[in-house]
A and B are shown apart, each in its own frame.
Chain A
Amino acid sequence: MRSVSPRLVLPVLSLTVLIAAVFWLQPRAMSYVGINLLFNLAVPIALATVAQMIIIMVNDIDLSMGAFVSLIACITAAILPTDPALGIAMLVGCVLVYAALGALIEIRQLPAIVVTLGMSFVWSGAAVLILPSPGGTAPVWLTAIMKAKPPFVPVAIIASVLIATVAHLIVMRSSFGVKLRALGGNARAVSRSGRSTVLLRASAYGLAGIFAMLAGMALVGLTTSGDANIALRYTLLSIAGVILGGGEFTGGRVSPVGAVIGALTLTLAGSFLSFLRLSPDWQIGAQGAILILVLAARLVVRQAEKRS
């Protein structure tokens, strides 16, 4: 457990600084409605980030996250409301395909980056087939959940805490999570201890698929309608979120709570720049600068740790 808390210090710090800056720039945001508006679109990003984190945890990287979330969004908006049985079957099917991809990558020892890049085109194509032009409607219950107005705490905050808690319990506290992290840290050791690496990698991908599915559904709950290109940005956002949240590309070293915080930070950075009235030409660069700043700070912290 000792390795967890320092990993979280920096993400928490950057989020706190950003929240303070946003509230200072836009006091109106400091309210129930304001906080919900600031963070509700971070919920699907947080789910996608946790999904990406699970893939990064087993030493892979998923370049199809955005396309997969878009496909789920299309299924949720176009098929789930009219034919729930078929919709659920398709969603489950998608998760199973994800798990199968994990098995394929392990059995054939393929580079995940290539497999997922290829699959991103398959997911995108399937999304266009299901929803050729933007449309569809979110199932009523889904919109009701995402737009709920619970007393005192906005649903965006409740959802973020819930996602972080569930991901933390699965990844850091369960024996299943320990095995997955071991697979990322030292696959050979896992294999020698008699565990099936194929089964483990497949279940890691399946778990990531479930989180990505929830991301797509949450997104449709917010937008109330689907579009085949709705979440393409999530691929890079989710990777950035994991790294921002204290995760590392070298397998096994991740932080689920950090990943959720990373996703919130990324979302908030966009709002911050918008409130600053920075010219759009500079915004994308400024977003990158924030990322580099946080990562540089992390390097400095780690160097200091090593020296002490």
Chain B
Amino acid sequence: MTCKGLLLTATTIGLLLGTQTMADTADKKIALSNNYAGNSWRQAMLESWKRVTDKAVADGAVASADAFTTAENQATEQAAQIQNMILQGYDAIVVNAASPTALNGAIKEACDAGITVVSFDGIVTEPCAWRVKVDFVKMGRDEVEYLAKRLPEGGNLLEIRGLAGVSVDDEIHAGIEEGVKANANFKIVGSVNGDWAQDVAQKAVAGILPSLPEIAAVVTQGGDGYGAAQAFAAAGRPTPIIIMGNRQDELKWWGEQRDANQYETMSTSIAPGVSTLAFWVAQQILDGQDVPKELTVPFLSVTQDTLDQALKDTPEGGVTNVDYSQDDAKKVIAGSK
């Protein structure tokens, strides 16, 4: 465990990987069905999966845990992939789905064949599957609450949203609106779509900045904070508090600003290692534990105190990550009951 410091800041306090072997699931085979591997977040997710499951197999917790990624990010292809997994005789399938609904038919086939299905990140609506969900509404609310602590007198906010039409964007936005409603001295004076990409965010913020009054803080969705900072610098305006999203470039910029002028902010996002949490949840279900169908994943936050540790642990161009352990999974399960 290289990121113990970070683990402490996650809502659950991580313990070292459980070393006790689970005799009941030692002969079980778990498969990961993944729809996409084309960005740093997904790469980190697959690496976490490999790191944790390799150890779990070596420890005898499960017999095997193979990862499969579809070549194209298409629901029909992933449905076929899941049906192949049924034929391959896996006991559990952990899935990051291309579509919340389009895989339902294949997932139902798997359930009917007696296979445990756990979805995470890209969750599925089929009732027979477990869902490891992220409370994105809370993430938006938390951002405003942090700002309320930092800026008791309130101020103008600029909101950077994600990709239009994606449910994650709607949920974070709803959370931010809730937060602003609860803290009436904040006002959203502008809103742009940054598409979770630094270059898009920079262009969008640069475009709207001339029309805006003084901005006290920028609320973001992750992957857009560094671009926003660049846009403010280019316009020659004072740097507001920009909420970051755990990307390495964002943390690096934050570190530089902190060293130069005591800049303070916070950073929050969902850790790619959530795949390993889903893995342990599947293992717990196979072990016969009573697990609720809906589980909520803790966020991974970086604060002023943990910034140095996070910078050290996050690879160039990557995302801050954490591997979950069996005990983390047990805690999340117990917390959701």
Partner-B contacts on A (CB < 8 A) = 26, 28-29, 33-34, 37-38, 40-41, 44-45, 128, 132-136, 147, 219, 222-227, 229-234, 267, 270-271, 274-275, 277, 280, 283-284, 287
Contacts and interface: CB of A to CB of B under 8 A. Distances in A.
A23 to B, nearest CB: 11
Q: Which 9 A-B pairs have the closest CB atoms?
A: A225-B101, A284-B71, A280-B69, A227-B102, A134-B101, A223-B105, A37-B83, A227-B99, A233-B74
A225 B87 contact: no
A124 to B, nearest CB: 12
A26 B87 contact: yes
B80 A267 contact: yes
Dominant SS at the B interface?
Answer: mixed
B264 interface: no
B100 A37 contact: no
B101 A37 contact: no
A216 to B, nearest CB: 12
A230 B102 contact: yes
Contacts, number: 103
B336 interface: no
B84 interface: yes
A286 to B, nearest CB: 9
Interface in B57-81: 66, 68-72, 74-77, 79-81
Contacts of B99: 134, 227, 229-230
A26 B101 CA distance: 28
Given A224-B104, A274-B84, 15 more contacts: A26-B87, A26-B88, A37-B109, A135-B125, A223-B106, A225-B102, A226-B102, A229-B99, A230-B102, A231-B76, A233-B74, A271-B87, A275-B84, A275-B87, A280-B37
B68 A223 contact: no
Contact of A229 (B75, B81, B109): B75
B89 interface: yes
Interface of B: 37, 66, 68-72, 74-77, 79-81, 83-84, 86-89, 99-106, 108-109, 113, 125-126, 165, 167
Contacts of A135: 100-101, 125
Given A224-B108, A225-B104, A280-B71, A271 B80 contact: yes
B259 to A, nearest CB: 39
A29 to B, nearest CB: 5
B108 to A, nearest CB: 7
Given A227-B75, A280-B69, A40 B101 contact: no
Nearest to B166: A133
A233 B125 contact: no
Given A229-B75, A270-B77, A274-B81, A223 B102 contact: yes
Contacts of B167: 133
Contacts of A133: 165, 167
A82 to B, nearest CB: 16
20 contacts: A28-B87, A34-B87, A38-B87, A41-B76, A133-B165, A134-B99, A136-B101, A224-B101, A224-B104, A225-B105, A230-B76, A267-B80, A270-B84, A271-B80, A274-B81, A280-B68, A280-B69, A283-B71, A284-B72, A287-B71
A28 B29 CA distance: 16
Given A37-B87, A222-B105, A232 B80 contact: no
Nearest to A45: B76
Contacts of A29: 87
Nearest to A274: B84
A38 B75 contact: no
Contacts of B37: 280
Nearest to A284: B71
A128 B81 CA distance: 26
A96 B79 CA distance: 31
A218 B30 CA distance: 30
A38 B100 CA distance: 22
B80 A223 contact: no
A233 B75 CA distance: 9
A226 B75 CA distance: 11
Nearest to A231: B76
A271 B100 CA distance: 22
A224 B80 contact: no
Contacts of B105: 147, 222-225
A191 B62 CA distance: 69
B62 to A, nearest CB: 17
B104 A223 contact: yes
Nearest to A26: B87
B83 A223 contact: no
Contacts of B88: 26, 28, 275
A267 to B, nearest CB: 7
A127 to B, nearest CB: 12
Contacts of B106: 222-223
Contacts of B125: 135, 225
A231 B78 CA distance: 12
A275 B100 CA distance: 25
Contacts of B109: 37
Contacts of B71: 280, 283-284, 287
Nearest to B72: A233
A229 B69 CA distance: 19
A154 to B, nearest CB: 13
A291 to B, nearest CB: 13
A224 B106 CA distance: 9
A41 B83 CA distance: 9
Contact of B80 (A134, A230, A270): A270
A283 B77 CA distance: 12
